[in-house]
Structure 1
Amino acid sequence: MQGRLSIGDFSKMTHLSVKTLRHYHQTGLLEPAEIDPFSSYRYYATTQIPVAQTIRRFRDLGMPVREIADLLSSGDPDARGELIGRHLERLEAQLARTRDSVAALRRLLDPAASIDVERRRTFETTAAAIGETVAAPDVLDWYADAMTELQAALTAAGQPATGASGGLYDNELFTDERGRLVVYVPVAAPPRSGRVEPLVIPPTELAVTVHRGPHTDIDVTYGALGMWVDQHALTIAGPVHEIYLVGPRDTPDAAAWRTEIGWPIASTPSASETTVG
């Protein structure tokens, strides 16, 4: 018949390999127009060329085969638009992650990059807090829910914040990807409501720096602060303190965010002070 193409010719015209075309046949994504009953040769119609090229474009963009099949089989323009829109959102998220990684790498590769660190002894702080053991992948969602509950409890109790909100992160949260996390808001008279409980944070000796911008590369600041602590012969003692001077609850502009990171520290004993028992 006219427009009948062998799988080899169809491969050349669409830039899809024979192996790929066979796979698409097996999965039902792109079936041949005709299969010879005696030789089992696959033949394609010229009208399938645009379909094959559409599939290739979507695969180049990383769309899953199953979604492409749904897209091609749907006769509903709205449904097709929703499938394409959903995939475009994934691409945009991937692009954002790539940009964040590039920005972090530029910081790591810049020999002139530095941070300002100060040693600071904090005062005792009275706060309303929520603390739980959290898995590392759940930290952001847990934090958002906890802060919402905290703010609601403080509003109901008529207790205004006396300082910026903060968090205490146990070492296990970093080393074991699961550990205790406490978020708090300083207030004069902390209420008890739901998960909200009073908390007294004792005075602590900290090495403090400020991370500027989004939290996607906050690990770079953590690393730089850790090097400073090591270079000054200090040891880390206790949970990491974070104070959210400016954060997502204050402004959607991530470039304006300011997160204070404080590592509890203790001086490393000198050789003359070291004892062996």
Structure 2
Amino acid sequence: MLGIGDFARLAGVSVRMLRHYDRLGLLTPARVDEWTGYRYYSASQLARANQLVATKELGFTLEEVGELLADDLREERLVDLLRERAAVLAERIDADQRRLLRVTARLRSIEKGNTMSTLTFTEVSMPALRLMQLATTVTEMEDIESEIGPMFRRVNAVIEQAGLTRTGPGVAHYTQTDDGLIAAAAEQIGDAPVPEGFTTGELPAVPQALATTYDADDLAGIQAAWQSLVVEVESRGLTPSGTCREIYHETPMDPGGTRWVVELQQPLA
């Protein structure tokens, strides 16, 4: 038999919590000394303690935990619940990491006066493009990254499965509407038929645009680069207008790719 202190240590909970579990009938001691009231537990009760703690970690209340355990929760079901919870936590951590990158980039942008002094700006023309794409309307600008990445993965997975040939680098393009921003993730496949479930994007040629190249290990600073580009447009007395493009010349997902080399193109009126 194990004293309450030893059992608490092995189960990874506090003595106070074990007493609370006892009061709720969730985990009662194997024996209670009738003279001292001291609680003793059996080593075999550790399995019950593990289930109780693990189920509570899933976010259930203690009352709900009691119901689950009373229903003789099968180990397989508990494993499934834990995996689901782990996936939720991993997504939350990933979202927090993306948020941290955005905050850090915003801080750098503010400290540098919304400009990136290392950028070079060039007036260019933008060619007409025929694209295989997925698009969505984004109302919160911070959602662009989380939307664009998965759409690019879906587009490229189908290209690989269908054996299609890319005729140019990947393209993201953005069009402002009254409802928000239409963000599209696209690949160039020439005149090949666009697979079912995807749309054909037709971007017209633009005679005048201002462009710069974003070259970095990650995309944390790309918003600041866009801001610098628009500031430069205004400083030249030009007017931004039309669908912006990002041309992905290199990404870490490319064979042999190690960084992000993205040409930002701002059409001009």
Aligning the two structures, in what range does the TM-score lie when normalised by the shorter sequence? 0.5 to 0.7
- Structure 1 Cα separation of the partners of residues 183 and 193 of structure 2: 21
Deviation, structure 1 residue 199: 3.3
Q: Does 1:145 align with 2:140?
A: no
Report the equivalent of 1:74.
73
> SS where residue 122 of structure 1 aligns?
strand
The total of aligned residue pairs comes to: 229
Report the equivalent of 1:7.
none
1:177-188 pair list within 5 angstroms: 177=180, 179=182, 181=184, 183-185=186-188, 187=190
Q: Which amino acid aligns with 1:144?
A: R
- Structure 2 Cα separation of the partners of residues 102 and 80 of structure 1: 32
Deviation, structure 1 residue 237: 0.7
Report the equivalent of 1:94.
92
Q: What root-mean-square deviation, in Å, do the aligned CA atoms of Structure 1 and Structure 2 show?
A: 4.8
Does the Cα contact within 8 Å between 1:129 and 1:183 map onto a contact in 2?
yes
- Structure 1 Cα separation of the partners of residues 170 and 19 of structure 2: 57
- Structure 2 Cα separation of the partners of residues 252 and 56 of structure 1: 45
Q: Which amino acid aligns with 2:259?
A: A
Q: Which amino acid aligns with 2:250?
A: V
Shift in alpha-carbon separation, 1:228–1:97, aligned structure 2, 3 A: same
Q: Does 1:63 align with 2:58?
A: yes
> SS where residue 229 of structure 1 aligns?
helix
> SS where residue 262 of structure 2 aligns?
strand
> SS where residue 107 of structure 1 aligns?
helix
**1:107 paired residue among 99, 102, 105:** 105
Q: Which amino acid aligns with 1:96?
A: D
Q: Which amino acid aligns with 1:179?
A: I
> SS where residue 119 of structure 2 aligns?
coil
Does the Cα contact within 8 Å between 1:169 and 1:241 map onto a contact in 2?
yes
Report the equivalent of 1:240.
244
- Structure 2 Cα separation of the partners of residues 201 and 151 of structure 1: 27
Scaled by the length of structure 2, the TM-score of the pair is: 0.58
Report the equivalent of 2:209.
205
Deviation, structure 1 residue 121: 1.3
State the identity %: 14
Deviation, structure 1 residue 243: 1.3
- Structure 1 Cα separation of the partners of residues 106 and 15 of structure 2: 46
Q: Which amino acid aligns with 2:231?
A: D
Scaled by the length of structure 1, the TM-score of the pair is: 0.57
- Structure 1 Cα separation of the partners of residues 41 and 80 of structure 2: 26
- Structure 2 Cα separation of the partners of residues 139 and 46 of structure 1: 57
132-141 vs 163-172, which moves further:
132-141
**2:171 paired residue among 158, 166, 172:** 166
Shift in alpha-carbon separation, 1:258–1:190, aligned structure 2, 3 A: same
